[in-house]
Chain A
Amino acid sequence: MAEPLIEARSLVKRFDSFVAVDGIDIDVQPGEAFGFLGPNGAGKTSTMRMIGCVSPVSAGSLTIFGLDPRLDGRDIRSRIGVVPQMDQLDAELTVEENLIIYARYFDIKKGEARRRTSDLLDFVQLTEKAGDKVDHLSGGQKRRVSIARSLISEPELLLLDEPTTGLDPQARHVLWDRLYRLKERGATLVLTTHFMDEAEQLCDRLVVMDRGKIVAEGSPRSLISQYSTREVLEMRFGRDRNKEHLDEVEAVGERVEVLPDRLLVYAADGEGVLATLRERNVVPDSALVRRSSLEDVFLRLTGRSLAD
């Protein structure tokens, strides 16, 4: 196995008395798409900022490309690309100028910067917007410019902090498509997300974070099989009546979660469970059987839903 690109041991980030990251271990291999999954405030962004060398490590060890951010921050930063959570594009410049000047920050020659800019605008499908001011772009287009900009230095590692938060579904799919292509080309991606579908789509391997700690680790599929069942039956009985049939439901499902608006029953065969319940005169207002997702993994691990 190759030497890991990122290696963290007992990594801690403290802000005064608040512990944002509480002793995590991570290894990210070259060519991997690695995800941090967790709700807001789980410590994902703090971890990303430490990896990006814009936030000092409070305790523990962290190496990127085998280098120490404390001593070689500049060298590390010159080899990574960053897509921040909020777009930090240069509003005073055009799309094209944004990319060119960003290349200059990496000391890339002007001619080369121009060549890469036109290639990357082509890649993110924004060639016709090259001369537009960034302000005039939509949210999804801005995010694509951010991604193009992060790639201008041909980084060995790409950090994406919540790449699709705040985008509409169509824009998200366009973005996923571009990221998937990057992945196919062998780029190493590290991303944070609180969207289960995003993690399932893009990540080879992920860690689930909650309150600064890693609570589970693995591929999306293995996490689901380890912490959930194949299917989930969602039932609604109407307000305040979800708990009335709890005993009967618990008797047939492997595990039951009571949420304010619905009951989740974990089982290998959701339809079978629903049929059995109907036979026993437990008839919900509505019922839905779906495949288990990372959302269920998170609920199982933390007792909370991710949307909180």
Chain B
Amino acid sequence: MTLTATTRSSMVTRIIPDVLFDVRRPQRLIERSVMVYRRSPMVIFSGFFEPLFYLLSMRVGLSSLIGDVEVGGRLVPYAEFVAPGLMASAAMNGAVFDSTMNVFHKWKHARLYDSLLATPLSAGDVAVGEIGFAVLRGVLYSGAFLVTMLALAMVQSPWMILSLPACALIGSAFAAMGMACTTFMRSWADFEYVPAVTLPLFLFSATFYPVSSYGDWSWVLQLSPLYHGVALVRAANLGEFSIGVLGHLAVLVSVTVIGVAVTARRIETLLLK
């Protein structure tokens, strides 16, 4: 029965965004972003510097005050300890900025998504495409950060190359979550609350000091998606992987999937009514 077959396939696409069946369509949105930024490369370029300034500040300042810290039974200069944390945080901050302010502008002011939905693109394509670009941009910055660490001889293991996919995953988790939250925002005033979430995450995700410093409170770290990202990048830098890595990966992947699904659903209910 062809009728039931089509009905069933549409039931499936209602539950799993049908974007999973064709990845070419979301790419069109990435193409659009590239087209936009090609004209203002400075916007992209200047984004490299903020994480680098943080890294240098840690190196010349805190690292010489603190000296070495103990991580996993070995002593590491503070700057090298904190660098993976900064790298992961930069991936988070970039993704959040792209998926909140930028997306809100395109949604409410430029009405971009209304015009996209009139084409063969679907709500899922829009969600994945926008998140995809945020990730791409984040990986670019992470790459630059990694090169700087190499230049300053702060990389400890060749496995550090894996920090790039790890940062891509951090980026996609936060971009997906950020975009999902953005679909609930009513006005620009709501964006005041974004730093209320990202700042505590930045400061309290074992970014600046080892898990052991948290003492009895270390379980709270598990609630921070950024902590899982920091743990991955740190493991890559040391080249020491434990079974826990799988758990960190699972958390970030789940956050991404939930974020994409919520975003696609919200676009559908808000724009396709």
- Seen from chain A, the residues whose Cβ lies within 8 Å of a Cβ on chain B are 15, 52, 54-56, 70-71, 73-75, 77-78, 82, 84, 86, 88-93, 97, 101-102, 104-107, 153
Contacts of B32 in A (CB 8 A): 90, 93, 101, 104
In Å, the complex CA distance between A101 and B10 comes to 28
In Å, the complex CA distance between A105 and B120 comes to 7
Return A58 CB to nearest CB of chain B, in Å: 11
Return A149 CB to nearest CB of chain B, in Å: 9
**Interface contact A92-B118, CB-CB below 8 Å:** no
Q: Which of A78, A86, A92, A104 has the most CB of B within 10 A?
A: A92
Number of interface residues of B (CB under 8 A): 25
Which residues 87-121 in B have Cβ within 8 Å of A in the complex? Answer: 110-112, 114-121
Contacts of B35 in A (CB 8 A): 93, 97, 101
Smallest CB-CB separation from A52: which chain B residue? B118
Return A183 CB to nearest CB of chain B, in Å: 22
Question: Would you list the 8 A-B pairs with minimal beta carbon distance, nearest first?
Answer: A88-B115, A105-B119, A78-B120, A82-B118, A88-B111, A92-B36, A104-B28, A74-B120
Smallest CB-CB separation from A152: which chain B residue? B119
Question: Quick one: which of B7, B24, B122 contacts A74, CB cutoff 8 A?
Answer: B122
Known: A89-B115, A104-B28, A107-B120. 18 other contacts (CB 8 A): A52-B118, A54-B114, A54-B272, A56-B273, A70-B10, A74-B122, A84-B118, A86-B111, A90-B115, A91-B110, A92-B110, A93-B32, A93-B35, A101-B32, A104-B31, A105-B120, A105-B121, A107-B28
B242 interface hit (Cβ, 8 Å): no
Contacts of A78 in B (CB 8 A): 119-120
**Interface contact B114-A88, CB-CB below 8 Å:** yes
Question: Quick one: which of B10, B116, B272 contacts A55, CB cutoff 8 A?
Answer: B272
**Interface contact B7-A71, CB-CB below 8 Å:** yes
**Interface contact B115-A15, CB-CB below 8 Å:** no
In Å, the complex CA distance between A89 and B109 comes to 11
Return B23 CB to nearest CB of chain A, in Å: 13
In Å, the complex CA distance between A295 and B21 comes to 51
Question: Quick one: which of B28, B114, B118 contacts A101, CB cutoff 8 A?
Answer: B28
Return B106 CB to nearest CB of chain A, in Å: 9
Contacts of A73 in B (CB 8 A): 122
B213 interface hit (Cβ, 8 Å): no
Smallest CB-CB separation from B37: which chain A residue? A92
Return A123 CB to nearest CB of chain B, in Å: 20
**Interface contact B122-A54, CB-CB below 8 Å:** no
In Å, the complex CA distance between A15 and B273 comes to 8
**Interface contact A105-B272, CB-CB below 8 Å:** no
Chain A interface secondary structure, helix, strand, loop or mixed? Answer: loop
B46 interface hit (Cβ, 8 Å): no
In Å, the complex CA distance between A71 and B273 comes to 16
Smallest CB-CB separation from A100: which chain B residue? B35
Q: Which of B25, B28, B115, B116 has the most CB of A within 10 A?
A: B115
In Å, the complex CA distance between A15 and B272 comes to 12
**Interface contact A84-B114, CB-CB below 8 Å:** yes
Which residues 187-204 in B have Cβ within 8 Å of A in the complex? Answer: none
B152 interface hit (Cβ, 8 Å): no
B223 interface hit (Cβ, 8 Å): no
Contacts of B121 in A (CB 8 A): 105
Contact with A along B103-145 (1 / 0, CB 8 A): 0000000111011111111100000000000000000000000
Which residues 240-273 in B have Cβ within 8 Å of A in the complex? Answer: 271-273
Smallest CB-CB separation from B25: which chain A residue? A107
**Interface contact B273-A77, CB-CB below 8 Å:** no
Return A145 CB to nearest CB of chain B, in Å: 12
Contacts of B36 in A (CB 8 A): 92-93
Return B166 CB to nearest CB of chain A, in Å: 31
Return B185 CB to nearest CB of chain A, in Å: 20
Smallest CB-CB separation from A83: which chain B residue? B118
In Å, the complex CA distance between A91 and B108 comes to 13
In Å, the complex CA distance between A298 and B31 comes to 48
**Interface contact A55-B273, CB-CB below 8 Å:** yes
Contacts of B273 in A (CB 8 A): 15, 55-56
Can you list 20 A-B pairs, Cβ within 8 angstroms, ordered by A? A15-B273, A52-B118, A54-B271, A54-B272, A71-B6, A74-B122, A78-B120, A88-B110, A88-B111, A88-B114, A90-B32, A90-B115, A93-B35, A93-B36, A102-B115, A102-B119, A104-B32, A105-B116, A107-B120, A153-B119
